[in-house]
Structure 1
Amino acid sequence: MSVRFSRTRARAGLTAEELAFISERRASDAQITLLVPSAPARDARRRELARAGIGMGVEVSTPISWICELWEVFGDGTHPITSLEREFLIARIFSERTSADLAPLTDTAGTVHLIARMACDLSAYILEDTAPTSNSLECIRSLMEEYTRLLGELDSIEPAAAAGILSTSFARELPARARVIVLRDVTEFPAYLVSLLAAVAAHGDVCILIDKEQEPLIAHLRPAFLGADPEVRIEIDDALIETAAISSAQTGEETPLTFFEVAGPHARDAAYARAIADMMDAEDAQQMRIAVVSTGPGALFEALAPRLAALGIASRARIVAAFSETSVGRHLAALTDLASRMEDFDRGIASASEWWPAPELSDWLRSPLSGALADAACRFDKRIRSKRALDPERVLRDLQGVQSRTRSARDRLASTNPWSGVPTICADVFRRITEGRYISALRAIAEVARALPSSAMGTADGRIRALLEQTMATRAADALDMAAGDLGVNQTVAATVLTGLTVELSVSASSAVDTRYRGQALFVTPAEAALLEPGSVRGVFFADVDQSSYPLSCEEGPLASIAERLDRTVVALEPVARLRDEFGRVSDLVDRVVLARVTHDAQGQDRYPAAIWTELALSRSAAGGALSEIGEGDIVGDLDPHAGSGMRSERVSCLDPQHLSPQAVRYLVPLQRAPDEPRSSLVPRRLSASQIETYAACPLCWFISQRIRPQHLDAGFTNMEKGNFVHDVMHLFHQQLIDLGERRVRPENLARSLEVLSGVLERVRADHARGSTSSSGALIAHSKIEELEIDELEAQIANVVRFEADVLAPFAPRWLEYSFDALGVTYAAWPLGGRIDRVDSDAQGRAVIIDYKHRANAGQFGLTDPTIPDGHGVAAAVDPRWLPEHTQTLIYAQACRRALGLDVRAALYLATKGAPQMRGAASEELCEQEPHDGRIPGMKQGFPGPEGSLTFDQLLDRVETAVELRLAELRAGDIRAAPKPRPSCGFNHPFGFDRREA
């Protein structure tokens, strides 16, 4: 008795010699077992044996199924555990241990999956190992001990352990049904399978049929069998080759190959579809079938089926979807993770930044499986993202509100409406997930998927997608029910290991208009293509033959390392040999093969061909292997599934960047009806001083920020919100001082003022935390770091109050947050709106304009007399368009002169960050002459300057004249970027007018 390696000319199907060999063995033995690598291969071999008339007496099975079948007959009554049950039990063990117990391992789904694979192949060997180990191995051994104990409680056993017990039993006495074992195309041999086959070979026969490309296995399997049983006899023969008649297909003629390269991903789908259509034979249209081979046939089917249908070609595929690849799986995982983070926040062990703004809920609402509608998702998302003053309870109430409103609206629909019978479960599902009721959540999703109209998940394949989601939700619920009932695993724990759960559907696509087809495209994996029957397809199209689709890497990591340490490594055929084998089998089926790949990705990076492409290109170059290339020049054909059929295409010329057409200019400046004027009298809409300043600095920035108005998706914790906080505090602080009879902060009342400030800070901080503020954005901390930043900000404001005690002694705040919207003021012949932070006045009727800026450096707001020549002897005032960098306070100073009749003497900016400072423009009498003289600290020069001639009043008039010139350019449609962009331009320019680089 022995292990015999029989070389064969095996290709796609069983050869006549192999059938004769199996028939001879069946005649001499009561039963033969033929082991094949997969269930599809099992079904294919059974059909071949049945057609040959030798199906009876030959049991075809996979290695793991064979072990389980033997255990059912010769075992001790325990049942072999399945892969899903194994994952559930390992997850249960992890959930019952603390992080300290698991160290140095971590409780993640990836670790659970890794330990489950170790339990499958190595649990018995790990427990038998007595050599010194590391902390990691000790933890793994502890997990294996607990796992084995649980298996005993459940009357279960690992198939690997069952194989070990059977090996011991068969070494003493071999049953008749295990006497003759033939293996074909089995290219992976775990240690337990080698041990069992060696035990069979001691008293029976084990024959491994080896194809030419599989021969490297012999060198690895020989020592593996001898290690399992040193007395086993190893034989290698060529009997099946020597007796084979050389057919016409084996005369050395090679199948013609065509290499097809597409220059970019945008042309991929259209180019592939045309290439497949070119393989069709017009004379044999109805019977013509082309196999389209891909490592991801489902995704390729979705991409190519519409284009093939437009070309008169039907498509068929078997979609295999894992739980994590379906909408059900993705949303369940996302909502579970969100519920966990929200729970941590409620328990005080996580900050709000861990869960807000909960985009998972908006994604869930957008999904048809939630029963809600996309517009409700958009409104919910905007409401959540625009407020940081939310807690999980408030968010869940909003989610419940969406569900209630949607249900009410759906109840009012007519019974004929396809959405009338669709349940709305968006809030119910998330609540059940937070409660750990995953089974009921999944069953609710399945109910929605069953009731959805076909258009809800796609116009062409919506019913198929809905059926896939319904099947997956039902199967996942059944799996969790089994885990909770039979295995005692908590639903929340079991839900984390559903990743490997799969469902499959057979799908087809064809034209809804034309039922006459040129043929059919069959989308399959390389392994499935190798099982196709000879003559079933006329050509093979290999798609995406690149390194990413066909890698040559072998598994490395903890599992492989431990298996090597235990001398229990899996003997497997190398990836490159497997590729050669599969390709050879598929090539033998047909008389035409096309290998296609995309040469570059969307970023222009090279995508390298697979090793099989390179090998075949070199070997077939002498035989004239053709190479076809196609580019991305046909834009319409690449984007339209119908390749532009019946479509009129035009080439248009675009305007230069940063230019508007005459038709668009009229919409650049919105108009409004003039107050107290006839309805036909229209004037431009009011501009605020900040808008005027933005346009004067950079017209493009104004256009982007004011007319396109890009906005941040989430409410932030930035300088804008901090500035809002400062404005609110300073406004309320000075208002309370006035209410208390104090005109302003003075050295004499500084202590009292700081007490008032303390109460104001507490009130404003509470208002912002609730989100109840009139500012455009509240300052709300979501983490400890942000809380400390607010503390620092409050200290900075206290410094500002101390600073105010010694500046502008005659002046006191009179108007706070003063609005110009209702005054009807015009500035530079344009209606002026907006508000100024503060206007201070003295007893003589003089006024000072003050604007708060939460900046650390006030030097940028300084302004010198433009009539003073620079180092080159040129004065800035020579240019009639000259404007200072910051004009906001100057504009409002002129407006206060005009509307309120004030004698404005200064237009200042108060920097509140760091050391407080005042800078801007002021009349000469307000500039500091001696330190601490009660004027404006740090401002040594005013208007007019020592060598200048421009007074402060003339400065205001000069700025207004220049602004009028700029606004005239705005009316004309000038939105070009500033010649010298400022640093802030970087936030606006990338939004438009810069052409995208190819």
Structure 2
Amino acid sequence: MLRRGAGAGGAGAPPPSHRLLPGGGDPVSARGGPGQRGGPLPARHHLRRRPVRGRVLARAAGMPGAPCRRHAPGRAGLPPLHLRRSARPRRVRVAPRRVGGGRARVRGRRGPGAFAVPPSFRYGERAHRRGPRPDGQRRPAPGPGLRARARLRAELPPRAHMVPGGGRGPRRGLRRGAVALQARAPGSPSGRRPHGPGTGRLLLSARGPLRESDGRADAPRASPRPHVGCAGSREEGSAETARGWGTMGGRNTYEEGTGVRESVTELYATIEKAHGAAKRAAAVGEAASLGTARATPTTLVAELWELWGDGRALVSRAQRELLVGTALRRQEALVASAGTSELLARFFARYGSALARCGEDASLTERECAVLRVGADYRAALGEAALVEADEAAFLLAEAARTGEVRLPSVVAADPVDAGPGMAALLRQCGCADAAGGEPFAVGGLPAETELSVLLAAGPAAAPALVLDELRRARGEGAATALVCGPDVRSLYDLLAPSLVADGAGCDLRCAVPWGETLVGRAWTAVGRLGSSARPAAAATDFAYNALSGMDGAGARRLNGALRGDRLADGAAAVALLRAASPTFAVFERLQRAFSASGDAAGRTAIAADLQALAQAVREARGLAPVERSRELASVAAVAELAEAAWSLGVPLADAGALLASRQVSVNARAAGRDGVRVEFAELDRLASLLPKSYDAVILADTTDAAFPAAQTRTALDGLARKLGLPTPADALERQRRRFRAGKDAACHHLALVVTQRTAEGEEAYPAFLLKEFAEAVADDARAAARAAGNADEAAAWDECDEDAFGLPVPLLRGVRRLGEDDLPASVGAAFAPVAERVSLRTVRRGRLDRLHLVRFLRTADEEGRAVVVLSPSALELYVGCPYAWFLERRVGADAPDEEFGPLEKGSFAHSVLARFYDEAARRGIARLDDACAATWEPLFEATFDGVAAEQAALEPGSGRLVALTEAEGLELARLRSQLRESLHRQARFAPSFAVRAHEHIIAAEDGVDYAGVRVNGRVDRIDVDEAAGRFAVIDYKGSAGAEYAAAMGDDAEAPPLPKRIQGLVYAQALRPTLAGLHCAGALYLAYRARTDKDMVAGAADAAVFGEEPFVGRSSVVPMNFDAYLDAVEALVTERVRRLYAGDIAPDPRFSGICSYCPAVGCERRLA
């Protein structure tokens, strides 16, 4: 069971040295547990704790509910107390109680149930014990209220001035964002006055000022609802002057005649927008803005729950997904996947309070009932962990306020609130019943003093150049700040940032990146694949080329070649190579193992140390841009956040590891500029955080319907919510309208809209509906203004539309800038510079070597002072088939270096088995196979096959070895055994008068055997001889021998055609002078995988010898003298070889089959 405060340094939390800040900072928590919300605390909150001595009974001075557990900057709700001592939290023990309890017992020791309470609760007792103050003034006696908080004066002292919170000295103890009023004593220009009777500070609260004398809060008099003056203000001011204005810094409203101010909380869509509004109000310097809190619904609930909660902590997103995933795995009706867990987590977060109070309905399906049961299990887990959903906490606060136990601040919704039922109830109690914004929202027209530019791009490739041109134009007109928003802003930043930085502008990038796409995520995934893949080369190579591996390019290439060229290199071998070559691999390996299902129970200290080492590796990685470094540090912080969430809940780290792939990493990076000009690139979601008139120029880089979709996405959970009567999310159309208007209104001087006419796939693009609504609003305003000015022609012009520009009004397109296919050179390249000059380049023709003499780069032999090219019969056959295919395969070497379990390796294995079998049969006196003696040679074949298979693993990598590594490959090897056994039975019936004479007969270049003008160098698979007739036949083993291997010479042909396959004919002609006294009877290809007798043999065979052979088809029979046939074919080959000596390597395939294996996939002859 999780103890309260575990995430904030309480029981069960790791020591401070085991935590990481987001971005790899000091060892402080990146995101706290249940007792720590809203981001990391300052370092002093973790590293400067001091024990609390003794026992103190703390009572919230006149306020029901438990005291706040922690004072953190930027909280919403009641204004903070001014504390004379530091607000560092102590570990105290408070008995749990519900909202509305009266007292809380505080024990001064650590332990179960402890959470942080500021030491100011003990101010009265400590001050009394310390004796008189150094200035001689008497310290206030500790009354009942002094143990709860510092006493403040009731009257507003004369000559009061604001003192922002934070810092040290006389203002020490104020939270950042708090504002106290300090009186200037007469004769004290600095405002620092002695503490004593008649002096003090006044802190403004929702219940009125607190008196220092008795600690009671005066009830405020009835006052009208305060006016909100800062929301949506367009007055400009420096945000740098707003230090001390956080979420809680703001404005109170005076009640006439009372001298009392009532606090107001303004709700914004995002915390960033709330902070921006506070900074703008502080920069304006309105005195009436004192006390107005600016928050989001989430931070409002968090602050109020800290003040009035029952001791439970608000659950974080990571904790929610972990607990929902655990509950999901305990049932079988729903798929327990990461996607289902994330979907249910969002559903429970929105409807937490309502689901806890509704039961299963008879109309619900089985799966819908399963969702409710998972929700019940999830709520039970929350209770065990002392956690609560924010929506449930909001509902409890609303109920307590309805019964009078809690007084809530006044709330005004500056932005519409799309909240769950609990939050809606809380806002109603805060006097903000219309927070959802029920009225229809209009996009509106063009803001005053804003210039509109429409940029028409022919396609996505042209859009960046238009954006860059618009940025430079705006800068030339004095724009100092610019915002570029788009759906793919990362690519836009990568393209434009170098040019902008070169121009002297600074560039910011704010976007979200999937964790799996970061360098940390890819390296993490690659390490995990090493142990789950039979071929780890791909995973190891991915890690080696990762910038975080610490390996250079040469080392990564060596490792890649070593692993891809050796099929026997398993995961253990790859791991050993990476451990030796990469300084960070061991860190990734330990972390991946700790977060995997099969990982060992690694300690927190070790994991935290590895995360620190990983963050340091990111900082030291070479070649990373600042944006990339910021992204990777955030990725490490995401891992640390999930680890702390898992530790705080006591769930296995494997559950946290399963959530990593779905995490989004926020990137917020800056590139420095020279001239003070800044360009921010952000995603479209950033529009919700914009204040009016916040940028000089705003560019919406995509205004098509793909960027601003109007379709409402519905899921099965939305149907369940409707059945249960729960409020559904806000309409997508309204959300898009508000985003578009926020971006439009954020521009002070320049607004540019990019409209793409074609998609990346070449399909027609369509403008967003918002663009048309905006154009209609602009046209209506311009038409009305023209009519008011009496300009009828101008008013009529706005009625005309340009159908070629998506039907936009013609006057709106007067200054339009277009970029199409004719302007392509200006839209590509790193600099996006216009064309300066044109350079004519020499036309390069495929297959022609203009600067290379081919023969000089081939192996040659000297023949009477003449260089003769040395080729194997297979290479000669490839060149005759297509010179360009020969050049790529044999000279360029375009084949992949991978060692495979494919046809080439199977062919080499079959050659070895057949050669060794016939050699062993000859030694045993078996001159020729016969079915009658099959009982003798079949065991010999089995033993030979097993022997060759056993030797494969010991062969060198790249030698053509065949090793089965998987069950499927083992089945293929068994099938090959069966095919070879079948083939031997057929060979026993083929050409009964011939017997095997030789196997793997070598013809070396030194033997001086020439053919068609080249020196032959090769190895003949097998030579069969008919001793009685004085004939021989060349046999070449093939897996299959189709029609392309046949001589294809008709009976009435006057001259033989050049066969498609000539390898066997080259061997036959080369052996004629070697085998004296024997005449060649055939050059045959024997298919050892043939399924029938007629498919086993093909090639060129003498009709007088093999004319009646059942295994030889008619297309393979040569109806002429075979020696003359060999001479005629050599003459035809000689004509092709002359092109080789001339350097001709042009694509010229003789038949389509040769293109099937050619590496030139883009060859025009192949495509034709």
Shorter-chain TM-score bucket reads: 0.7 to 0.9
SS in structure 2 at match of 1:260: strand
CA contact (8 A) 2:529 2:539 kept: no
- Alpha-carbon distance change, 653 to 104 in structure 1, aligned in 2, over 3 angstroms: farther
1:465 aligns with 2:628: yes
1:854 to 1039, 1050, 1056: 1039
**What CA distance in whole angstroms lies between the structure 1 residues aligned with 2:1045 and 2:225?**
91
Q: Deviation at 1:814? A: 2.5
Amino acid of the structure 1 residue aligned with 2:397: L
**1:12-411 alignment, distance < 5 Å:** 23=253, 30-50=262-282, 51-94=285-328, 97=329, 102-123=331-352, 125-126=354-355, 128-132=358-362, 133-173=364-404, 175-178=406-409, 180-198=410-428, 200=429, 204=431, 206=433, 208=435, 214=441, 255-282=450-477, 284=478, 288-318=480-510, 320-321=512-513, 323-336=515-528, 338-339=530-531, 341-342=532-533, 352=534, 356-403=535-582
1:456 to 622, 631, 635: 622
Amino acid of the structure 2 residue aligned with 1:32: V
Q: Deviation at 1:384? A: 2.6
How many residue pairs match? The answer is 886
- Alpha-carbon distance change, 15 to 970 in structure 1, aligned in 2, over 3 angstroms: closer
**1:905-984 alignment, distance < 5 Å:** 905-913=1081-1089, 914-916=1091-1093, 917-929=1096-1108, 937-939=1111-1113, 945=1119, 950-978=1120-1148, 981-984=1151-1154
SS in structure 2 at match of 1:362: helix
Q: Deviation at 1:828? A: 1.1
1:704 aligns with 2:888: yes
Which segment drifts farther, 791-800 or 603-612?
A: 603-612
CA contact (8 A) 1:80 1:158 kept: yes
Q: Deviation at 1:907? A: 0.9
Amino acid of the structure 2 residue aligned with 1:890: L
Q: Deviation at 1:40? A: 0.5
Q: Deviation at 1:49? A: 4.1
**1:635-784 alignment, distance < 5 Å:** 637-643=826-832, 650-656=839-845, 658-664=846-852, 666-667=853-854, 670-672=857-859, 674=861, 683-712=867-896, 714-768=898-952, 770=953, 772=955, 777-781=960-964, 783-784=966-967
CA contact (8 A) 2:226 2:262 kept: no
Residues 107-152 of structure 1: CA deviation (Å, up to 9, x unaligned)? 3221221222233223554453221343323433343233222222
Amino acid of the structure 2 residue aligned with 1:45: A
Say which structure is richer in helix. 1
**What CA distance in whole angstroms lies between the structure 2 residues aligned with 1:251 and 1:541?**
14
- Alpha-carbon distance change, 599 to 576 in structure 1, aligned in 2, over 3 angstroms: farther
SS in structure 2 at match of 1:119: helix
RMSD: 4.0
Q: Deviation at 1:669? A: 6.6
Return the TM-score normalized by structure 1. Answer: 0.80
SS in structure 2 at match of 1:495: helix
- Alpha-carbon distance change, 72 to 780 in structure 1, aligned in 2, over 3 angstroms: same
Residues 162-220 of structure 1: CA deviation (Å, up to 9, x unaligned)? 22323332332263334x2211113412222223334x16xx5645495976389xxxx
- Alpha-carbon distance change, 174 to 58 in structure 1, aligned in 2, over 3 angstroms: farther
* Matching residue of 1:988: 1158
Return the TM-score normalized by structure 2. Answer: 0.69
Q: Deviation at 1:82? A: 0.8
**What CA distance in whole angstroms lies between the structure 1 residues aligned with 2:1003 and 2:1065?**
14
SS in structure 1 at match of 2:561: helix
SS in structure 2 at match of 1:130: coil
SS in structure 2 at match of 1:813: strand
Q: Deviation at 1:87? A: 1.7
Q: Tell me: higher relative CO, structure 1 or 2? Use CA pairs within 8 A at least 6 residues apart.
A: 1
1:885 aligns with 2:1069: no
Overall identity of the aligned pairs, in %: 24
Residues 240-272 of structure 1: CA deviation (Å, up to 9, x unaligned)? xxxxxxxxx999868442210222343433332
**1:835-874 alignment, distance < 5 Å:** 835-844=1019-1028, 845-855=1030-1040, 858-865=1042-1049, 868-869=1051-1052
SS in structure 1 at match of 2:1072: helix
**What CA distance in whole angstroms lies between the structure 1 residues aligned with 2:609 and 2:711?**
40
CA contact (8 A) 1:267 1:631 kept: yes
Q: Deviation at 1:966? A: 0.6
**1:811-822 alignment, distance < 5 Å:** 811-822=994-1005
Q: Deviation at 1:622? A: 5.8
CA contact (8 A) 1:184 1:210 kept: no
SS in structure 1 at match of 2:475: coil
**What CA distance in whole angstroms lies between the structure 1 residues aligned with 2:825 and 2:1115?**
66
**What CA distance in whole angstroms lies between the structure 2 residues aligned with 1:553 and 1:888?**
65
CA contact (8 A) 2:350 2:391 kept: yes
* Matching residue of 1:624: 812
Amino acid of the structure 2 residue aligned with 1:60: R
**What CA distance in whole angstroms lies between the structure 1 residues aligned with 2:562 and 2:734?**
54
2:724 to 550, 554, 566: 566
Gapped runs of 5+ residues in structure 2?
1-221, 238-248, 780-808
Q: Deviation at 1:83? A: 0.9
Q: Deviation at 1:495? A: 1.7
**What CA distance in whole angstroms lies between the structure 2 residues aligned with 1:330 and 1:532?**
33
SS in structure 2 at match of 1:958: helix
SS in structure 2 at match of 1:973: coil
Q: Deviation at 1:503? A: 4.3
1:788 aligns with 2:984: no
1:804 aligns with 2:994: no
CA contact (8 A) 2:548 2:621 kept: no
Q: Deviation at 1:762? A: 2.4
**What CA distance in whole angstroms lies between the structure 1 residues aligned with 2:405 and 2:619?**
59
Amino acid of the structure 2 residue aligned with 1:850: I
CA contact (8 A) 1:576 1:612 kept: no
Q: Deviation at 1:486? A: 1.7
Q: Deviation at 1:12? A: 6.6
- Alpha-carbon distance change, 643 to 120 in structure 1, aligned in 2, over 3 angstroms: closer
- Alpha-carbon distance change, 839 to 648 in structure 1, aligned in 2, over 3 angstroms: farther
Amino acid of the structure 1 residue aligned with 2:718: A
1:898 aligns with 2:1073: yes
